[in-house]
Amino acid sequence: MFKKILEDSKREVSGKNAKEYVSEIMRFHRIQVTEGYNKAASLCKKIFEENGVETEILEYDSDGKKMYLGFLSPEGWSIKKGVLKIDGKEHANFEKENISIIQRSIPFKGEVDLIYAEKEEDFKKGCLVFTHDFKKGKDFARNYECLGIVTDENRSKFDAPDSLQYLSFWGERLFGFVISPREGEKLEKELKKGKKKAYVDIESSLFPSKIKIVSAKIEGEKDEEIILISHLCHPKPGGNDNASGAGLSLEIARVLKKFKKPKRSIRILLVPEIHGTAAFISQNNDFLCGLNLDMVGENQFLCNSPLLIEKTPDATPFFGNYLLQEILEEVKKEVSNFQNTFKYPLFMYFVTPFSGGSDHWILSDPTIGIPTPMLIHWPDKFYHTSFDTIDKVDEKELKRVGVIAATYLYFIANMGKKEAEWMAGIVTQRAKQRILESPDIDYTVDAGKKNLDSIKRIENADVESLKKEIEDLANFEKKKIKIKEKKIKKGIVPKRKFMGPIDLSKTLLEMPLNEKKKFNETMEKYKDFKGTSDLAVFWADGKRDIYEISKNVKNEIGKVNTDFLIWYFEFLEKHNLIDIKR
Ligand SMILES: [Zn+2]
């Protein structure tokens, strides 16, 4: 059904072009709401326009006070200089390595005492503190009135001990520097012998500014629109995260513009991650569906990084998850065995449930209701470090993802009755398969029916007889198993207070240290269930009680801890982020 589009996309999408766009974007230090980001946005607008794609730059106030949905807008930040010297020797210099300063550092100039802090008691007022733990370190530094921090925190410390990790303050009034794990090891040894004199010179400022969003449009015949989104922000180099997503979006737009005008329009958004999407969506949310491209160019072998299709949450059912899988099945046919009896891929891939953490988190929230799967690579050895450079970006991988994305977008943009019916058949087949494997048949039937209904968002299709087919199979299967009647107890009923996901940043920033420590301890205790809180929030419609929500999360990802969810919802209630009916 999509073969022709797939062939056209394979012919037109150029990995080489995409990689050139990626490297052009990588010239800029693209921290949210900064000059570097704005320059990258202007460059992207220029490229879209050179390729004949109508583009505008949208602006939204961003001052550290204004909220968009549940998200606090960041202040603008500029930096001219950022130097750290220890005993006269340079250890960090923003000009040479943009990532060597903790982003959004406040200005400071002068000589200070540098001490090593292993635990909370070691943080001393008026000092610069070296700590391995950035997250706790910044909280202690704030609480004990330290001037700033130096850290070698690094998630790739074993794979890349000379890399620097991307770290940022979000509202904490501190300054800081990032050094490599190898340098950190040496510095720890020296500071254990006694404090050192450090010289700091940072020229920076924080000020009210504007979030800028690049909004390009492939015009369709109808008014309806589909979104392709990717975040343009992040520090230099930020090759795979996420110059790759933005650069590939430029290439996809170039290709789609050459195709016959689609029925529906395709809106391409390049945003500062999360904050830009929240600002945009708070003012326009009339879209059919979307696709998020985040970290899409990985050289899989260098980065040890598989391609993932991340589905929408079950609370926002969407046939597009299956469409992506069908396209992937075709793209996988890369090479043949000896006598050409079978075709298979030369890359790693996986289809995963919703996990969030990028712009599709906002779009796919049921209170926003724009079902948006994501294409991403995860994990990635070099993610958020100074080693996320152009040599980790692979033009073949950009092309694979570009072909999948372009086929998905153009297929949905042109979906008519015939395509909708084909899609309904696929969804039904998948639902039946799930029923045979599912421990909770009712949940699966419901999900299957909602997936069928999601087709009608795009094109009217008769799905009622297919729903009946799903129900019939379910009834037949249910007769085979004895269903244990569980004692029905009624639990708390959480209800969303506002549109969009619940972001804890502002709450945690304003929280006293002791309370925050308790929060962190509880989160640590339930760390295996971390991702379940966002999924649970999606189900909190004011009708389902905690046991039903918990059961749904279990059905969705195979694990849940109801005690954790109860604690989490009560925490949200206490901080005025959700209502609870008892
Ligand atoms: Zn990213």
Residue 372 — very low, low, confident or very high, per pLDDT cuts 50/70/90? very high
Question: Of all residues in the chain, what percent carry a pLDDT higher than 90?
Answer: 97
Residue 117 region by backbone torsions, left for phi larger than 0, else alpha for psi between -120 and 50, else beta: beta
Q: For residue 76, what is the DSSP state?
A: E
- Spacing, Cα 525 to ligand 1 middle (Å): 27
CA 405 to CA 416: how far, in whole Å? Answer: 19
Q: Are 216 and 268 in contact, with CB atoms under 8 Å apart?
A: yes
Phi, psi (rounded to 5 degrees) for 59: -125, 140
Q: Name residues whose C-beta falls within 8 Å of residue 412's C-beta, 6 or more positions apart in sequence.
A: 226, 264, 288, 289, 320, 323, 458
- Our measurement of the distance from residue 282's CA atom to the centroid of its chain's CA atoms, rounded to an integer in Å, reads 18
Tokens of 243: 């110059």
**Residue 232 amino acid letter:** L
Taking the centre of ligand 1 as the mean of its atom positions, its distance from the CA of residue 354, in whole angstroms, is 15
For the segment 138-156, the average pLDDT, to the nearest whole number, is 96
Q: How many angstroms is it from 366 CA to the middle of ligand 1?
A: 22
Instruction: Find the 335 Cα to ligand 1 centroid distance in Å.
Output: 31
- The residues placing their C-beta within 5 Å of ligand 1, an ion, are 241-242, 294
Q: Which residues pair with residue 79 across a beta bridge?
A: 204
Question: Is pLDDT of 369 > 70?
Answer: yes
What separation in Å is there between the alpha carbon of 448 and the centre of ligand 1?
31
Q: From ligand 1's centre to the CA of 295, what distance in Å?
A: 6
Tell how far the Cα of 119 is from the centroid of ligand 1, in angstroms: 31
The pLDDT assigned to 445 comes to 96
Q: Cα of 387 to ligand 1 centre, how many Å?
A: 15
Domains of the chain: 3-73+210-414 (3.40.630.10), 77-207 (3.50.30.30), 417-480 (no CATH), 493-581 (no CATH)
Output the pLDDT for position 488: 66
pLDDT for 178: 98
Distance from Cα 321 to the centre of ligand 1, integer Å: 20
Closest alpha carbon to 212 in 72, 34, 75, 49: 34
| 104 alpha carbon – ligand 1 mean position (Å) | 18
- Cα(522) to centroid(ligand 1), Å: 27
Cα 474 to averaged position of ligand 1 atoms, centre (Å): 40
Which helix (H) or strand (E) segment is 451 a member of?
A: helix 441-455
Nearest-angstrom CA–CA distance, 359 and 366? 14
At residue 481, the pLDDT reads 75
Q: Ligand 1 mean position to 142 CA, how many Å?
A: 28
Compute the distance from residue 163 Cα to the ligand 1 centre, in Å: 18
**186 CA to centre of ligand 1 in angstroms:** 31
293 C-alpha to ligand 1 centroid (Å): 9
Contacts of residue 322, Cβ cutoff 8 Å, sequence gap at least 6: 423, 426, 427, 430, 451
Catalogue the E-assigned strands of 311-411.
335-336, 343-344, 349-352, 374-377
Alpha helices in 155-242 (DSSP H): 181-193
Q: How far is the CA of 138 from the centre of ligand 1 (A)?
A: 23
Residues in the chain: 582
Residue 396 C-alpha to ligand 1 middle, in angstroms? 20
Å from CA of 425 to ligand 1 middle: 34
- Tokens 């006070």 map to which residue? 65
> What's the 233 CA to ligand 1 centre distance in angstroms?
8
- Average pLDDT estimate for 19-38: 98
Q: In whole numbers, what is the pLDDT of the chain averaged over residues? A: 96
Ligand 1 centre from 241 Cα, in Å?
5
35-82 confidence digits (pLDDT tens): 999 999 999 999 999 999 999 999 999 999 999 999 999 999 999 999
Task: Calculate how far, in angstroms, residue 338's C-alpha sits from the geometric centre of ligand 1.
Answer: 39
Q: Is 385 helix (H, G, I), strand (E, B) or coil?
A: strand
Mean pLDDT along residues 283-312: 97
- Give the distance (Å) from ligand 1 centre to CA of residue 516: 26
**Residue 294 Cα to ligand 1 middle (Å):** 5
Measured distance CA(247)–CA(266) in Å, rounded: 17
CA of 77 to the centre of ligand 1 (A): 20
Residue 166 alpha carbon to ligand 1 centre in Å: 12
Amino acid identity of residue 219, one-letter, is E
CB 373 within 8 A of CB 318: yes
Predicted TM-score (pTM) of the model is 0.96
* Angle made by CA atoms 159, 161, 166, in degrees to the nearest 5: 95
Query: Which pLDDT score is estimated for 480?
Result: 81
pLDDT at 120 over 90: yes
Q: Which of 317, 325, 380, 371 is nearest to 351 (CA)?
A: 325
Question: How do residues 84-107 score in pLDDT, each as one tens digit?
Answer: 999 999 999 999 999 999 999 999
Give residue-wise pLDDT tens across range 461-505: 999 999 999 999 999 988 887 666 565 678 999 999 999 999 999
